[in-house]
């Protein structure tokens, strides 16, 4: 059982407080596993410290439970002889006195040993005792806060909460009317009604689809220096639709990893396999097709391990994992699952993503016409010949129509298995040219075994295994990343490393409660989102008290909400939303919003970027065409990943370039002008009321008296400056000066930290 309370770095726990999982195992991993861990290639003295059996073997082991003074481990740690002292000086590692004392306490307590927490089966924990019927999430959080003698902050204001919910669930801003309606609704279930409304919006799939596309390394180009365009947006649209339809996560997983292996797969299920077709394609001259193919398979193994297992399986590609129980053989057993797909250094195989019903209808019509044509009697009948030509004309029109549809939809890459599977070998030191022992598809022994089969295991077996309720990792990983999206940090901070080097859960019982709950709810992600956002913990204010800042500066105990700068795509989306210019169309080919000149000046190949016009100019950021070698500058500036490899968590930086972008980028200035037009054409006439409207459109709140007065003075100053301009030489009409004045104010609001932050 994991202990929940935390200790300061300089605090030595008593024997009763020492936890193997929290205190001892991470210490052994950091200090000892390099030479005495899973990797037999670097193991010294044939000693493993990652298994209790070898640590206390036969009573003569390194550790004698209950007898620290006669344990070799402690003797070596305290030895004055440099040839005996551990860790050796050459390792540049040394244990502190506090750490040595902790080991002494652990040995004295009998050297209790627990398996790594993440590899233990998911069990539903008991709720902490409580006097009321609060939300289970709040019970777990309150229990930790009470243990730390801390009080949570109050609930967020209603206007703050609706803005938070809109940004978190839809990625856009609420209208002033929506805010007013929510604030005025005092019914007990008002938050539930709002949440259900947002979860049913088609924009929900866009918001949460973007997170999944990060993990799928989705992009619109091949990568490498050539970086040619590809058609992958049907896969992106499949993700959006699947999330909107709340396809259970187990089915969501199976269709993406093995949709082509399902019985009579639909076009949608084939498109779903684009998940593992988002790998890079090298079109450079002289590239080795077999090297490319192996790199592609490696990417699929590493991505699958990161996305579903939360493990750094890629560390076992060249040698057995240094810290986690994943051998190099097991890595190539995972490799074998993906080693028999059709892979060339090109865009094959592909399918036409024409909707299945439309394709079926087209095929039926063509078949009927051909059948009729073949049934016509032979001969020189003018009537028969006329009918035959008419039928051929209809077929030709249908074929031309389909070509037109394919021109719009393109042909999307999918997964397809070879007729005969390839033989898989271990690659010595990760070199595909140096083949070692032959291996077959299987999963790491530290995890539950695959069900027995008469033949070899397939990708479909792997997909089913990943979402089997016996798998201890997938549900925990999914829940943890979901929590991270809503709170800025997961219950396990190292959301991409649930291995022995990763962080321990801050709230292990809550993590398991949610993981178990998700499985019981038939893997419904939409229900999970609803469950979390309806908790008091989620709905708290993000304003920290001095007590919380002093005792929990990183908000790990969750006494408040977190302030989170929005993702790169949302920076422009919020500006579009505030200006009223956002195009709400869902799906379709990627678009080309304005970007600065010269972006492709130094690319190997002149990339195409013809700025979209009309409604496409104002599409959401997730529809922006993404060149891997030269992404849209605003996306890069605000920390969008490059999608060369899997991204499970975006970093958030704070740089002067971001402020300069918000002040000077063409798109932001255009959105500010759009907001100014909205204020002038559809807003009130007085400056004070217009400022109030601008605040509500951008920040979902009213300005306070000081803010309003300051901005009224700013408007007056802007008018004076523009009036002093020699309008006769600039041909600037008074209406244009008014637009310029309010555009300046809009730029001020869009540059506020509050505008870019989900509070």
What are the tens digits of pLDDT across the range 447-471?
999 998 888 999 999 999 999 999 9
| 750, part of any domain | yes
| 296, part of any domain | yes
Please enumerate in sequence order all residues whose Cβ is within 8 A of that of 518, keeping only pairs 6 or more positions apart, or say none. 249, 475, 478, 479, 524, 528
Contact 339, 350 (CB under 8 A): no
Q: 614 in the Ramachandran plot: left (φ > 0), alpha (ψ -120 to 50) or beta? A: left
Number of separate domains in the chain: 4
Whether the pLDDT of residue 387 is over 80: the answer is no
Tell whether 425 and 310 lie within a shared domain.
Answer: yes
Tell whether 110 and 30 lie within a shared domain.
Answer: yes
Tell whether 252 and 401 lie within a shared domain.
Answer: no
Please spell the DSSP secondary structure of 662-721, one letter per residue. HHH-HHHHHHHHHHHHHHHHHS-SSHHHHHHHHHHHHHSS---HHHHHHHHHHHHHHHHH
Binned at pLDDT 50, 70 and 90, residue 21 comes out as confident
Task: Tell me the three state secondary structure of residue 561.
Answer: coil
Please spell the DSSP secondary structure of 94-143, one letter per residue. ---HHHHHHHHHHHHTT------GGGSPP-PPPPPP-SS---HHHHHHHH
Which element (helix H / strand E) includes 536? Answer: helix 536-539
Q: What pLDDT does 7 receive? A: 38
Please enumerate in sequence order all residues whose Cβ is within 8 A of that of 570, keeping only pairs 6 or more positions apart, or say none. 167, 171, 621
| 93, part of any domain | yes
Rounded Cα distance between 103 and 24, Å, is: 7
| 302, part of any domain | yes
Q: What pLDDT does 343 receive? A: 81
Contact 65, 107 (CB under 8 A): yes
Nearest residue to 626 (alpha-carbon basis) of 204, 222, 205, 211: 222
Tell whether 110 and 256 lie within a shared domain.
Answer: no
Whether the pLDDT of residue 218 is over 90: the answer is yes
Tell whether 317 and 257 lie within a shared domain.
Answer: yes
Mean pLDDT, rounded, of the chain: 90
What letter would DSSP give residue 419? Answer: S
Please enumerate in sequence order all residues whose Cβ is within 8 A of that of 423, keeping only pairs 6 or more positions apart, or say none. 438
Contact 539, 156 (CB under 8 A): yes
Binned at pLDDT 50, 70 and 90, residue 9 comes out as very low
Whether the pLDDT of residue 252 is over 80: the answer is yes
> What's phi and psi for 368, nearest 5 deg?
-65, -40
Tell whether 740 and 689 lie within a shared domain.
Answer: yes
Q: What pLDDT does 41 receive? A: 77
What letter would DSSP give residue 37? Answer: S
Q: What pLDDT does 10 receive? A: 39
| 672, part of any domain | yes
Tell whether 280 and 375 lie within a shared domain.
Answer: no
Whether the pLDDT of residue 368 is over 70: the answer is no
Whole-prediction pTM value? Answer: 0.88
Structure tokens at 455: 């033949």
Instruction: Give the structural domain span for 392.
Output: 354-409
Q: What pLDDT does 687 receive? A: 97
Each residue's pLDDT tens digit, 396-453? 666 555 554 444 445 788 899 998 999 999 999 999 999 999 999 999 999 999 998 8
Pick the last residue of a domain from 58, 86, 115: 115
| 514, part of any domain | no
Rounded Cα distance between 414 and 281, Å, is: 14
Structure tokens at 321: 């994992």
Each residue's pLDDT tens digit, 486-529? 999 999 999 999 999 999 999 999 999 999 999 999 999 999 99
Structure tokens at 662: 């918000």
Pick the last residue of a domain from 53, 81, 115: 115
Tell whether 389 and 266 lie within a shared domain.
Answer: no
Tell whether 277 and 384 lie within a shared domain.
Answer: no
Q: What pLDDT does 400 receive? A: 58
Binned at pLDDT 50, 70 and 90, residue 725 comes out as low
Residue with tokens 């292990």: 508
Residue with tokens 């004309």: 393
Each residue's pLDDT tens digit, 647-688? 999 999 999 999 999 999 999 999 999 999 999 999 999 999
> Helix crossing, 202-215 with 233-244: angle to 10°?
120
Each residue's pLDDT tens digit, 563-603? 999 999 999 999 999 999 999 999 999 999 999 988 888 78
Residues pairing with 564 in the sheet = 758
Contact 18, 104 (CB under 8 A): no
Please enumerate in sequence order all residues whose Cβ is within 8 A of that of 698, keeping only pairs 6 or more positions apart, or say none. 173, 578, 675, 746, 749, 750, 752, 755
Q: What pLDDT does 8 receive? A: 36
What letter would DSSP give residue 305? Answer: I
Contact 245, 652 (CB under 8 A): no
Whether the CA torsion 729, 733, 739, 742 is positive or negative: it is positive
Tell whether 275 and 368 lie within a shared domain.
Answer: no
Contact 427, 334 (CB under 8 A): no
Mean pLDDT over residues 745-749, rounded? 98
Regarding predicted confidence, which is higher, 392 or 138? 138
| 100, part of any domain | yes
Task: Tell me the three state secondary structure of residue 520.
Answer: helix
Pick the last residue of a domain from 63, 89, 115: 115
Residue with tokens 């000892």: 32
Structure tokens at 406: 């394919």
Please enumerate in sequence order all residues whose Cβ is within 8 A of that of 121, keeping only pairs 6 or more positions apart, or say none. 470, 472
| 602, part of any domain | no
Each residue's pLDDT tens digit, 165-190? 999 999 999 999 999 999 999 999 99
Binned at pLDDT 50, 70 and 90, residue 203 comes out as very high
Whether the pLDDT of residue 561 is over 60: the answer is yes
Show the 3-state SS of 707-740. HHHHHHHHHHHHHHHHHCCCHHHHCCCHHHHHHH
Binned at pLDDT 50, 70 and 90, residue 359 comes out as low
Each residue's pLDDT tens digit, 541-555? 999 999 999 999 999
What letter would DSSP give residue 505? Answer: P
Contact 88, 81 (CB under 8 A): no
Tell whether 440 and 359 lie within a shared domain.
Answer: no
Task: Tell me the three state secondary structure of residue 159.
Answer: helix
Q: What pLDDT does 559 receive? A: 98
Tell whether 361 and 431 lie within a shared domain.
Answer: no
Whether the pLDDT of residue 383 is over 90: the answer is no
Nearest residue to 543 (alpha-carbon basis) of 564, 566, 565, 562: 562
Q: What percent of the chain has pLDDT over 90?
A: 69
């Amino acid at each position: 059982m994991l202990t929940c309370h935390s200790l300061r770095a300089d605090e030595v726990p008593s024997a009763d407080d020492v936890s193997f999982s929290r205190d001892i195992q991470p210490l052994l991993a950091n200090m000892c596993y390099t030479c005495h861990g899973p990797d037999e290639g670097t193991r010294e003295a044939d000693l493993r410290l990652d298994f209790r059996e070898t640590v206390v073997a036969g009573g003569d082991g390194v550790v004698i439970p209950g007898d620290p003074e006669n344990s070799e481990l402690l003797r070596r740690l305290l030895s004055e002889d440099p040839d005996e002292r551990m860790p050796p000086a050459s390792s540049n590692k040394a244990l502190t006195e506090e750490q040595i004392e902790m080991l002494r306490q652990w040995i004295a307590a009998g050297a209790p040993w627990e398996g790594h927490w993440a590899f233990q089966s998911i069990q539903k924990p008991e709720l902490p005792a409580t006097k009321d019927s609060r939300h289970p999430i709040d019970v777990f959080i309150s229990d930790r806060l009470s243990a730390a003698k801390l009080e949570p902050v109050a609930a967020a204001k209603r206007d703050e909460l609706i803005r938070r919910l809109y940004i978190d669930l839809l990625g856009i801003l609420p209208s002033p009317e929506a805010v007013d309606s929510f604030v005025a609704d005092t019914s007990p279930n008002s938050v539930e009604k709002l949440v259900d409304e947002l979860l049913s919006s088609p924009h929900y799939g866009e918001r949460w689809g973007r997170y999944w596309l990060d993990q799928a390394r989705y992009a619109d180009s091949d990568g490498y220096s050539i970086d040619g365009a590809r058609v992958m947006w049907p896969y992106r649209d499949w993700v959006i639709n699947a999330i909107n339809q709340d396809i259970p996560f187990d089915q969501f997983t199976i269709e993406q990893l093995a949709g082509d292996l399902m019985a009579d797969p639909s076009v949608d299920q084939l498109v779903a396999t684009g998940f593992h077709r988002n790998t890079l394609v090298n079109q450079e001259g002289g590239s080795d097709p077999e090297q490319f193919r192996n790199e592609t398979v490696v990417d699929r193994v590493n991505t699958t391990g990161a996305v579903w297992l939360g493990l750094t399986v890629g560390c076992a590609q060249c040698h057995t994992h240094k810290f986690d129980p994943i051998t190099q053989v097991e890595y190539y057993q995972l490799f074998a699952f993906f080693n028999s797909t059709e892979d060339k250094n090109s865009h094959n195989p592909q399918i036409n993503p024409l909707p299945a019903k439309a394709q079926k209808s087209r095929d039926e019509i063509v078949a009927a016409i051909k059948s009729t044509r073949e049934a016509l009697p032979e001969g020189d009948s003018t009537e028969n010949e006329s009918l035959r030509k008419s039928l051929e004309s209809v077929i030709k029109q249908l074929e031309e129509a389909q070509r037109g549809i394919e021109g719009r939809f393109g042909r999307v890459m999918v997964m397809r298995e070879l007729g005969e599977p390839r033989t898989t070998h271990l690659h010595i030191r990760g070199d595909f040219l140096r083949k070692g022992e032959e291996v077959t598809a299987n999963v790491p022994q530290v995890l539950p075994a695959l069900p027995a089969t008469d033949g070899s295991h397939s990708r479909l077996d792997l997909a089913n295994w990943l979402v089997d309720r016996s798998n201890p990792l997938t549900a925990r990983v999914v829940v943890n990343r979901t929590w991270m999206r809503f709170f800025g940090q997961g219950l396990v901070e190292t959301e991409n490393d649930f291995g022995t080097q990763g962080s321990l859960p801050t709230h292990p019982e809550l993590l398991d409660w949610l993981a178990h709950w998700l499985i019981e709810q038939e893997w419904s992600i939409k229900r999970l989102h609803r469950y979390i956002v309806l908790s008091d913990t989620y709905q708290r204010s993000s304003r920290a008290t001095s007590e919380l800042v002093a005792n929990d500066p990183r908000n790990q105990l969750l006494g408040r909400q977190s302030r989170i700068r929005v993702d790169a795509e949302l920076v422009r989306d919020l500006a579009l939303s505030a200006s009223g210019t956002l195009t709400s169309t869902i799906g379709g080919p990627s678009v080309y919003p304005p970007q600065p000149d010269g972006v492709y000046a130094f690319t190997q190949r002149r990339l195409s970027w013809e700025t979209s016009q009309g409604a496409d100019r104002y599409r959401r950021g997730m529809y922006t065409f993404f060149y891997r070698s030269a992404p849209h500058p605003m996306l890069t500036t605000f920390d969008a990943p490059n999608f060369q490899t899997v991204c499970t968590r975006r970093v958030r930086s704070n740089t002067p370039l971001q402020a300069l972008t918000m002040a000077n980028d063409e798109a932001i200035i255009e959105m500010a002008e759009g907001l100014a037009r909205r204020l002038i054409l559809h807003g009130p006439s007085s400056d004070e009321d217009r400022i109030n409207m601008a605040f509500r459109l951008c920040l979902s709140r009213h300005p306070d008296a000081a803010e309003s007065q300051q901005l009224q003075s700013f408007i007056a100053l802007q008018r004076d400056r523009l009036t002093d301009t020699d309008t006769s030489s600039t041909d600037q009409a008074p209406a244009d000066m008014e637009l310029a004045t309010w555009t300046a104010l809009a730029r001020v609001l869009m540059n506020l930290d509050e505008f870019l932050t989900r509070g």
